[in-house]
Structure 1
């Protein structure tokens, strides 16, 4: 099954609130499907209020990109996700993963337990199970999982509606192997976060020392050309060859890629 294209934007609050709200409205007007916020505690407002604000002022879907499972008890994350799904009339998508590299230091700073990756994956499962219990039979909050290793991929195949891979400089052929099982199954949406456009790196989507030239040399899928026409061709190739249909960009590129979204969204 070939899924139609849709496009999301990771839009952390890095300006004043009025400017951020205006940007969210422009993103909605440009045809993007989803506004997403990262889970970086204390560097911006909490994800729930941010996303509720956007959902109340636009028709966008909203989501976390992504909750870090060890930062909260599973029931708390599930409660917030269910509440957002209910209050947005089903326009909330819960993105969740085991945490970005270096999260152990953040956990220590916040006096939280530093649990090994396997336990963090168990926390993801417990969160999704709690969310399904809260949703009940009449609501289904979509779950997007950020994965890489085999255990995480197996869990995502079991519980996720959307799967994205926690990628860096992995070459195209390696990513195609990661996606193969999901593409064969045909019932999971494959999402690709692209933090690098041309030589620019989106905040909160890649490490600050990311080298765009090295990514291009490795044929990594975490980079796209900054020319919308060339990016359109490459995005179509990535769906045809690998199965990616949901593409996520940083907010700084939303206006540049608005013609791309107009051309491909829903096709």
Structure 2
């Protein structure tokens, strides 16, 4: 079996990326439906022009549902370290500890976004250091009596080494057509001696591509044909079997879907959440 025994034995949980893409009453109703379906966490992206800023949106979501909330994920190059940590700590306090700080080094095209915002471009080699600064500031703000969980999106060796040291949950940034075998090797190479939670970002379910979770022009058929872990079948029984296989063989226990496919997978979540 790949991974670490402690992570392989974790109960399954399920998060939903649910940005505000409708009017507020419809969005609130959507959140209540997700809570009733057994999802554990409401997540927000961190991209300007898509929706309101993630911090205020998550504060509202936490009030509406009582679920955990989290960023998926803060883009460190566009966020000053201490301000980001302050917001994360504040969300942890305001939600009574129900906030997960997801953070990474930025989506593809982050350099263009930095130029549009008039911010200095951060060399790729320095971006993991920015994440470390945010986490260090968060730990200072949390103090000895609070621990805000950190979810790190990691790609290269520097980010993986940092996550092995400081993260509570790790999700791997990988091409959507990466094969199961390659992803399994990627996870096996991660130093998970602390047994941190392993999360899987699943943007394609059946023929549906979740908004805000995938690149432009994503072809569900190509993702499925690659035997990529970015894909799940939309048949509930087949999806449940595959999710359990991924935990057993690779140690993934936290699965994140898009809000537009969450309904189709609700029977799976009702069956597996907490097991």
TM-score (norm 2): 0.95
Cα distance change of structure 1 residues 135 and 49 upon mapping to structure 2, 3 Å threshold: same
Query: Which digits, 9 at most, give the CA deviation of each residue in 1:2-54, with x for residues without a partner?
Result: 11100000001111111111101111111100000000113211111100001
2:105 paired residue number: 98
2:147 paired residue number: 140
| Higher RCO structure (Cα 8 Å, ≥6 apart) | 2
Q: Is the 8 A contact 2:164 2:191 kept in 1?
A: no
Matched residue of 2:228: which SS? coil
1:15 paired residue number: 22
1:157 paired residue number: 164
- Does 2:205 correspond to 1:197? yes
Shift of 1:186: 5.0
Measure the CA separation in 2 of the matches of 1:182 and 1:120: 19
1:27-42 aligned at under 5 Å gives the runs 27-42=34-49
Which of 244, 269, 272 does residue 261 from structure 1 map onto?
A: 269
Cα RMSD for the two superposed structures: 1.1
Q: Is the 8 A contact 2:17 2:44 kept in 1?
A: yes
Measure the CA separation in 2 of the matches of 1:59 and 1:181: 36
Q: Is the 8 A contact 1:143 1:161 kept in 2?
A: yes
1:234-245 aligned at under 5 Å gives the runs 234-245=242-253
Segments of structure 1 that go 5 or more residues without pairing to the other structure are none
TM-score (norm 1): 0.97
Measure the CA separation in 2 of the matches of 1:13 and 1:245: 26
- Does 2:231 correspond to 1:223? yes
**Stretch of structure 1 that moved more, 82-91 or 34-43:** 34-43
Measure the CA separation in 1 of the matches of 2:191 and 2:141: 29
Measure the CA separation in 2 of the matches of 1:61 and 1:184: 24
Q: Is the 8 A contact 2:164 2:192 kept in 1?
A: no
Which of 59, 62, 71 does residue 52 from structure 1 map onto?
A: 59
Query: Which digits, 9 at most, give the CA deviation of each residue in 1:111-160, with x for residues without a partner?
Result: 01111112111110100000000000000000000011111111100010
Give structure 1 regions of 4+ aligned residues with deviation exceeding 6 angstroms. none
Q: Is the 8 A contact 2:164 2:194 kept in 1?
A: no
Measure the CA separation in 1 of the matches of 2:64 and 2:72: 20
